[in-house]
Amino acid sequence: MKQTITNGIKALLEDADQVVPRISVSDAVSLLDREDHIFVDLRDPREIKREGKIPGAFSCTRGMLEFWIDPESPYHKEVFNQDKTYVFYCASSWRSALAGKTAIDMGMNGVVHIDGGFSRWKKDGAAVEIID
């Protein structure tokens, strides 16, 4: 039997856009060295190795986010238990929008994501850290 998808990716992204603030690359660059912000790279490790990352960003694949956020999870990471603003990004901003909404739905405060993601970051000439 064929699946009937009633809430597709377009609707999910529209919902996320209503909840998760987007910031421009230029705004993100201005936050890069601030102690009260944590940049979170949601891309796959192969993407990061191939293209680099935003300098100092914490890497958390999209598939582990919920497990790393929840303090009751055996996989919890303390980086997600701070009174800081979390700047999520992925390649184009789809995963970061969905991840941001999930994080907010879980109770996290101070979640934003970069409009256009790492692709726009590179296109706009912002600094990139190359991973060996």
> Is residue 102 situated within a structural domain?
yes
Quick one: tokens of 18?
Answer: 């209503």
> Is residue 71 situated within a structural domain?
yes
Quick one: tokens of 21?
Answer: 């603030």
Q: Range of 21's domain?
A: 9-123
pTM confidence score: 0.95
Quick one: tokens of 67?
Answer: 């497990």
How do residues 105-123 score in pLDDT, each as one tens digit?
999 999 999 999 999 999 9
How do residues 65-109 score in pLDDT, each as one tens digit?
999 999 999 999 999 999 999 999 999 999 999 999 999 999 999
What was the pLDDT predicted at 1? 86
Q: How many domains does the chain have?
A: 1
Read off the CATH number of the domain in which 17 is found.
3.40.250.10
> Is residue 75 situated within a structural domain?
yes
Asked if the model's pLDDT at residue 53 lies above 90, the reply is: yes
**Helices marked H in the chain — which ranges?**
9-19, 25-31, 45-51, 65-69, 94-106, 117-123
Asked if the model's pLDDT at residue 14 lies above 90, the reply is: yes
